[in-house]
């Protein structure tokens, strides 16, 4: 019987599959101290994006740790080099969350461009309003340009939604992608051209040294004053202080964010802005998607423990 540490609340889809082993946790979030205590002697770890799996934590586990099953598509919280040196398999959950995340990204796009959050807050506050030809004007999508940074599974799904709404699609990537499933007008350009030309810039890239603060003060300054930024990728892809400053100065029209540099903390300036939509990192948060993610993570862990090849090993 293996010891499997589950670092955060999990759905039954994962816990039921692991029930023949000694499961520690799964009903609460472990802070660094608790995780450090429980990881000692663990054979497997079912982790989340917020877990600090740096070299020190990985070394603390001991030589028996065989697998880190990350219940997410991302893995920037894990020191992969330290894991490889310790012969620890690291698995993730790509391929099951792209449609749900693209739905949420496009919801952010609609909210911020059509000012629906701002409008609902006005109604709920009981403020006076009446139909007016010039009231709460937003941006139309038909014929507008949607810039997708990173045309992976989520980026492609986002592009398909934009094309269905009559948007022209620009994308940036390291190489040409198959865009036959997107439809409409699709063109690959450089990051610089995409940022300067798009009416909505939507981030769908992993967090790497190359993409950290990809959207910085210079990038924001090059965007159209009428343009919007959407981020459902990783918070640190955007310089949050620079974004707040750009919004205060009117350098861009607004932003829709589901991720933040130091989440759950959010820049106070952003919290006060009406032209910013803020969501609490719920990109993949549909029950069917999260159940698939949980089950896939558990299957990956069991595969490694049983000496089989997992579905999604990095």
Residues in Cβ contact with 171 at an 8 Å cutoff, skipping those fewer than 6 apart = 147, 148, 149, 150, 151, 155, 159, 177, 179, 186, 187, 188, 189, 194
Query: Does 263 qualify as catalytic in the annotation?
Result: yes
Q: Which of 213, 269, 281, 291 is catalytic?
A: 281
How distant, in Å, are the alpha carbons of 188, 217, 256 from that of 268?
36, 18, 15
Q: What are the DSSP calls for 235-249, one per residue?
A: GGGB-HHHHHHHHHH
Instruction: Tell me the β-bridge partners of 276.
Output: 255
Q: Which of 34, 99, 193, 263 is catalytic?
A: 263
Q: How many CA atoms does the CB half-sphere of 84 hold within 13 Å?
A: 5
Query: Does 281 qualify as catalytic in the annotation?
Result: yes
**Where do we find the tokens 């803020």?**
278
Q: Which of 234, 240, 261, 290 is catalytic?
A: 234
Q: Where are the alpha helices (DSSP H) in 40-172?
A: 55-61, 80-85, 98-114, 116-124, 153-164
1 by Cβ neighbours in 10 Å (0-12 / 13-18 / 19+) ranks as exposed
193 by Cβ neighbours in 10 Å (0-12 / 13-18 / 19+) ranks as middle
DSSP3 helix / strand / coil % (the chain, rounded to 5):
35, 15, 45
Across the beta sheet with 145-149, what order do the strands follow?
Answer: 186-188, 168-172, 145-149, 200-203, 228-231, 254-257, 276-278
Phi, psi dihedral angles at 301 (to 5 degrees) = -60, -45
**In terms of Cα–Cα distance, which of 247, 245, 172 is closest to 211?**
172
Query: Which 3 state secondary structure label does DSSP give 6?
Result: strand
Catalytic residue list: 234, 263, 281
């Amino acid at each position: 019987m293996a010891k499997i540490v589950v670092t955060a609340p999990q759905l039954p889809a994962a816990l039921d599959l692991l029930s023949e082993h000694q499961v520690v946790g799964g009903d609460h979030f472990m802070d660094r101290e608790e995780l450090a205590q429980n990881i000692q002697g663990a054979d497997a770890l079912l982790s989340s994006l917020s877990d600090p799996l740096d070299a020190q934590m990985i070394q603390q586990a001991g030589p028996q740790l065989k697998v880190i099953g990350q219940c997410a598509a991302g893995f920037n919280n894990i020191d992969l080099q330290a894991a490889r040196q310790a012969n620890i398999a690291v698995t993730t959950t790509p391929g099951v969350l792209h449609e749900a995340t693209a739905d949420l990204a496009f919801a952010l796009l609609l909210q911020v461009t059509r000012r629906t959050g701002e409008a609902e807050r006005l109604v709920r506050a009981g403020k006076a309003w009446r139909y007016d030809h010039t009231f709460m004007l937003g941006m139309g999508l038909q014929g507008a340009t949607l810039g997708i940074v990173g045309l992976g599974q989520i980026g492609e799904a986002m592009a398909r939604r934009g094309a269905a709404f009559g948007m022209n699609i620009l994308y940036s990537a390291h190489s040409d992608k198959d865009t036959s499933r997107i439809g409409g007008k699709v063109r690959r350009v450089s990051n610089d051209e995409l940022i300067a030309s798009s009416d909505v810039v939507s981030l769908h890239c992993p967090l790497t040294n190359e993409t950290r603060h990809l959207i910085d003060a210079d990038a924001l300054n090059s965007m159209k004053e009428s343009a919007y930024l959407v981020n459902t990728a990783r918070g640190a892809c955007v310089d949050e202080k620079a974004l707040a400053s750009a919004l205060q100065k009117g350098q861009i029209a607004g932003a829709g964010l589901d991720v933040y540099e130091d989440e759950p903390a959010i820049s106070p300036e952003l919290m006060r802005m009406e032209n910013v939509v803020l969501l609490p990192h719920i990109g993949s948060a549909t029950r069917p998607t999260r159940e698939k993610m949980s089950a896939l993570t558990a299957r990956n862990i069991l595969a490694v423990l049983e000496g089989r090849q997992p579905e999604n090993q990095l």
